Chains A and B, each alone.
Chain A
Amino acid sequence: MMTHPYEDIEAYALGSLDQQQAQRVLEHADGCPTCAVLMADAMAAVHSMMGSQPERPLPAAGMMQRMLRPQLFHSTASAYSRAPGIPLLSWSVAAASLAACFALLFSNAQLRSNAQQVPIALLVHSHFTHHELRGGTGNAKVIQATDGRWLYVVADGLMPRTFYTLSESAGGRSRVVGNFLSTNSGTATAYWEQSPARIDGLVIAPVQNTGKNGTLRWP
């Protein structure tokens, strides 16, 4: 049964709820037309208390860069979920480092992550769609430029420290986009640029047969 948090709406706007309560009220009001209107009034009231705010320059130390880090982009893909704990940029760096170590250890060209560094600004300024890959162990989303020029993989729940291959199909033909390595905790991010293509299918599969069902597919 839905309970409207009528008594907490003004408290939210005043900043007088603890973080958990505040989050609950905001989430509820965001999807409830009645509470959204009440919240809008409460926010307008607090806004009027604030008066006309002066501007305070933000620190020069890359505020915009930090704001536009992949975490933001991750939230695009997973609607309303925020990357837990370690920012995705760290995951990406960790994945790349592990990939390099693995490649050195095994000297196996096939098992080398060929993912590129993520050009955040380019992603943020691009038009894109995203696809959920399902099937085996883990979850993955592939974010794809509308014109197919780049692909960005965000995954979790994968088999840890495992090389995966991302393949795409376009017009009935399949090709390997590249390999990436999952982290110890089974997360991964990877990015590739390519020639424009209208992709109609994506598959993420472990490079080596692990005996487990690790293949994820879209559609």
Chain B
Amino acid sequence: MGSPETADIVRRLQADDPAALEEAYRLFGQRCNAIAHSVLHDDHQAADAVQDAFLSLWQHRHGLIVRSAGLSPWLFVVTRNAALGILRKQTTRENREQLTGVMEASSEMDPALAIVGQAQASELRDALARLPEEQQNVLELAYFRFLTLAQIAVRTNTPLGTVKRRAQRGLQQLHSLMGKQSL
């Protein structure tokens, strides 16, 4: 569940202690902001996504996931989802195409660089390269190009169920590879 400090915050959140939320915000707010900003490229929208994520943490403080995933994985994933929700809500189809085009052009050489730093990008790239090509494609389109699995299914002309299974296996395998590399 993470460090004793974050475990304590989770315990206090579950005991309905609002000060624990503030502490979580102090510990993780700026990193959540970096994640949201990497998706939205806008300070105010990123701040909105961070706010959504922390509000969601408070609303889900009694849920099982916060306890089993730990604070930072939960917050980072939920922040990213909140940012993607904002992006998808306000981006028209044309804009999205443009945005995807920009993403593709700006990170053609290494999409991982658009999201993480140089050192992690190299590690991530190595791990992705070891996945079967179809799993690699799905993860890249989902994670780096911000497409939904339904959009990936259309774009790759593949049944949605197949895309879901590729995402599932790809992510599991990637986790195991990244875990081994970091040992």
Enumerate chain A interface residues (CB-CB to B < 8 A): 7-19, 22, 26, 29-33, 36-37, 39-59, 63-64, 66-68, 71-73, 75-76, 79-80, 82, 124-125
Contacts and interface: CB of A to CB of B under 8 A. Distances in A.
A56 B40 CA distance: 13
Interface in B65-120: 65, 67-70, 72-74, 76-78, 80-81, 84-85, 88-89, 115-117, 119-120
A56 B142 contact: no
Contacts of B131: none
Nearest to A129: B16
Nearest to A121: B22
A125 B47 CA distance: 22
A14 B85 contact: no
A30 B60 contact: yes
Contacts of A30: 60, 63-65
A106 B29 CA distance: 48
A48 B34 contact: no
Contacts of A44: 69, 73, 175
Contacts of A11: 142, 148-149, 164, 167
B117 A51 contact: yes
A63 B55 contact: no
* Chain B interface residue number, banded: 35 or more
B33 A14 contact: no
A54 B143 contact: no
B123 A14 contact: no
Interface of B: 16, 18-19, 21-22, 25, 29-31, 33-35, 37, 43-44, 46-47, 50-51, 54-55, 58-60, 62-65, 67-70, 72-74, 76-78, 80-81, 84-85, 88-89, 115-117, 119-121, 123-124, 139, 142-143, 146-150, 152, 161, 164-165, 167-168, 171-172, 174-175, 178-179, 182
Given A43-B73, A48-B175, A48-B182, A82 B59 contact: yes
Given A36-B63, A67-B54, A46 B73 contact: yes
A74 B27 CA distance: 24
Nearest to B39: A15
Given A47-B77, A56-B34, A63 B47 contact: yes
A47 B123 contact: no
13 contacts: A7-B165, A10-B167, A10-B168, A14-B171, A16-B148, A41-B175, A42-B171, A45-B175, A49-B143, A50-B35, A50-B80, A67-B51, A67-B54
Contacts of B43: 59
Contacts of B178: 45, 48-49
Contacts of A64: 22, 25
A12 B143 CA distance: 11
A152 to B, nearest CB: 13
